[in-house]
């Protein structure tokens, strides 16, 4: 018997009969093919929360292209949200009216939006598309480990042998909800715990690991018993963290009314309780809206409105709770769904499987802006027309790992392999503003801005380029991007870049230049 088959068919029995917030706690693991990685452990108290929207969310009724309303109405008059009902983020873009919580987060600089996220040659099968998003593979390549699981494996080599330990006493990842996401599946085992929404309880094997026969099946039994032992120890760590903190937000709905809110409430409690788990995965299902996506005659109501309202309500309450618990700066989250829906609606007041869709990032450390532009819609969409991709989802993963967990580029290239090479950087995380420059090892040589103070809104940035993709950003004093002077590949050599600060209010700004792993920032005074 192969280990993979053995684990897949027996691991669900390794479930701890313990409740946290009404949800039983368990450990799930299976062993896909080994995926070799390099990297080293880093110390961090930062947390990443992944919110999986199962079924394929309709992006065009979630983020509304207000500048293309005639085309939108031509394509989906029976389900399109009325323009007057949109929650406007700016003149051209709005949110579904059920998403007041996310609108407030955007207004309060705690939400970012990435337009038209997908991947080349999309697959429209729920199962395969989910595999692609959770494994971060090319659409024609199968990788059986998850992207976050590979990241954790690169940080905590050899897991599960030697874990938990005095240095790493807490679970590496926790998956919450009825679906155990493949995102945190590692090269040999699942890299974390699962809190499963089920009323069933299983007896936990206790005591030391008994001697097993020296046979292939015996080796698998030993492996399972080791997982069970770790589960016991991690359960204690989770219980200890849970008693140290109490949820403080009054925005959470009553228990059982919003499954995603129930999950995020547990995450907030554990983070505030000091658990050093790096990755949490939550999920909400029901987004496969082929029929009855809206109520006939009132597109602002119906299945999709209810789902989006739950997502908005849950994330808004979570962010409020993190703030009240004073741990908001430790947590960043993002939403994803296996695909979007087609531009044109169907006759059942619904939408069929499509390609790209928007993705939200949330937290006090996100770059609170809209990345990309509204999708360009044909004047008269055909039944198979798709929202074109602007951002590869793996570029978002890579950028989050790079900026949030400080993963080196060489490790990113191993974690997120693609025939197309490295993915472009997307600044979904707010830059860390510093005065002066970073240490010399990460310095951009020759970086200066003159004149400084800046007068008449004009200055010049000078730096030595290595030859690669360079970004030059102007940021305000809280790290919000106010202008982008450069965002493209340049040749190696000295660069002299004009900076246009015209139209900006007088005061202090930062100029930041990034190229690969190098980054420098300078404080500017605009008079």
107-157 pLDDT tens trace = 999 999 999 999 999 999 999 999 999 999 999 999 999 999 999 999 998
**Residue 343 · residue 387 · CB < 8 Å:** yes
**Model confidence at 204: pLDDT above 60:** no
232-275 pLDDT tens trace = 568 788 888 888 999 999 999 999 899 999 999 999 999 999 99
Query: Which of the given ranges, 190-204, 383-397, 460-474, has the highest pLDDT on average?
Result: 383-397
CATH of span 440-526: 2.60.40.1930
* Token pair listed for 442: 């990460």
Same fold? 3-412, 440-526 = no
Task: State the pLDDT at residue 19.
Answer: 54
Residue with more model confidence, 29 or 328: 328
Query: CA 55 to CA 357: how far, in whole Å?
Result: 13
| CA nearest neighbour of 414 among 218, 203, 147, 165 | 147
Predicted confidence band of residue 220 (pLDDT cuts 50, 70, 90): low
- 404 half-sphere exposure, CB direction, 13 A CA radius: 32
Question: Domains of the chain: which residue ranges?
Answer: 3-412, 440-526
Gyration radius of the chain's alpha carbons = 24
Domain 3-412 CATH (choose: 3.90.1720, 3.40.50, 3.40.720, 2.30.130)? 3.40.720
Pairing of the two strands 111-118 and 391-392: parallel
Query: CA 227 to CA 223: how far, in whole Å?
Result: 7
Percent of the chain, pLDDT > 70?
81
496-514 pLDDT tens trace = 999 999 999 998 888 888 8
Burial class, 140, CB count within 10 angstroms (exposed 0-12 / middle 13-18 / buried 19+): exposed
Q: Is 379 left (phi over 0), alpha (psi -120 to 50) or beta?
A: alpha
353-408 pLDDT tens trace = 999 999 999 999 999 999 999 999 999 999 999 999 999 999 999 999 999 999 99
Query: CA 511 to CA 498: how far, in whole Å?
Result: 12
Main-chain dihedrals φ then ψ at residue 203, nearest 5 degrees = -70, 135
Percent of the chain, pLDDT > 90?
59
Task: Match 């207004």 to its residue by tokens.
Answer: 107
**Model confidence at 283: pLDDT above 50:** yes
| CA nearest neighbour of 219 among 526, 2, 384 | 2
Residues 6+ apart with CB under 8 A from 400: 48, 332, 334, 361, 428, 429
Main-chain dihedrals φ then ψ at residue 458, nearest 5 degrees = -125, 135
Q: Helix 303-324 vs helix 100-107: angle between axes, to the nearest 10 degrees? A: 40
């Amino acid at each position: 018997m192969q280990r993979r088959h053995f684990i897949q068919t027996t691991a669900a029995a390794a479930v701890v009969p313990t409740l946290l917030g009404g949800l039983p706690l368990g450990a799930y693991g299976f062993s896909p093919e080994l995926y070799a990685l390099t990297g080293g452990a880093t110390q961090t108290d930062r947390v990443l929360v992944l919110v999986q929207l199962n079924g394929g969310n309709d992006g065009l009724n979630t983020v509304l292209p207000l500048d293309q309303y005639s085309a939108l109405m031509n394509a989906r008059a029976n389900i399109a949200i009325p323009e007057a009902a949109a929650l406007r983020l700016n003149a051209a873009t709005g949110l579904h009216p059920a998403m007041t919580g996310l609108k407030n987060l955007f207004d309060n600089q705690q939400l970012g939006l990435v337009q038209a996220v997908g991947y080349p040659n999309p697959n429209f099968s729920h199962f395969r598309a989910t595999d692609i998003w959770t494994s971060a593979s090319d659409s024609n390549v199968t990788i059986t480990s998850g992207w976050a699981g590979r990241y954790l494996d690169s940080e905590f080599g050899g897991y599960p042998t030697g874990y938990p330990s005095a240095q790493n006493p807490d679970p590496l990842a926790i998956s919450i909800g009825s679906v155990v996401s493949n995102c945190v599946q590692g090269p040999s085992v699942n890299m974390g715990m699962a809190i499963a929404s089920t009323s069933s309880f299983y007896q936990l094997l206790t005591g030391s690991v008994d001697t097993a026969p020296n046979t292939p099946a015996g080796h698998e039994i030993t492996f399972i018993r080791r997982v069970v032992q770790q589960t016991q120890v991690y359960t204690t760590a989770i219980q200890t963290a849970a008693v140290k903190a109490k949820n403080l937000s009054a925005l959470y709905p009553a228990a059982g009314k919003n499954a995603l809110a129930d999950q995020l409430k547990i995450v907030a409690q554990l983070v505030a309780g000091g658990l050093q788990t790096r990755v949490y995965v939550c999920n909400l299902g029901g987004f496969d809206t082929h029929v009855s996506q809206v109520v006939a005659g009132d597109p602002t109501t119906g299945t999709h409105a209810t789902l989006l309202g739950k997502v908005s309500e849950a994330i808004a309450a979570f962010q409020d709770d993190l703030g009240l618990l004073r741990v908001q700066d430790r947590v960043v989250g993002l939403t994803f769904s296996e695909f979007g829906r087609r531009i044109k609606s169907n006759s059942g007041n619904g939408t069929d499987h499509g390609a790209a869709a928007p993705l939200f990032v949330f937290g006090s450390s996100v770059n609170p802006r809209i990345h990309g532009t509204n999708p360009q819609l044909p004047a008269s969409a055909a039944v198979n027309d798709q929202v074109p991709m602007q951002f590869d989802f793996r570029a978002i993963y890579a950028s989050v790992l790079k900026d949030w967990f400080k993963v080196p580029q060489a490790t990113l290239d191993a974690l997120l392999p693609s025939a197309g090479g490295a993915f472009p950087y997307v600044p979904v995380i707010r830059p860390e503003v510093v005065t002066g420059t970073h240490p010399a090892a990460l310095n951009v040589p020759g970086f200066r801005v003159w004149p400084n103070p800046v007068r008449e809104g004009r200055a010049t940035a000078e730096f030595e380029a290595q030859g690669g993709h360079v970004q030059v950003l102007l940021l305000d004093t809280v790290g919000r991007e106010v202008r982008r002077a450069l965002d493209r590949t340049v040749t190696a050599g000295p660069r002299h870049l004009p900076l246009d600060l015209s139209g900006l209010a007088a005061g202090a700004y930062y100029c930041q230049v990034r190229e690969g792993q190098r980054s420098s920032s300078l404080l500017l005074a605009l008079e």
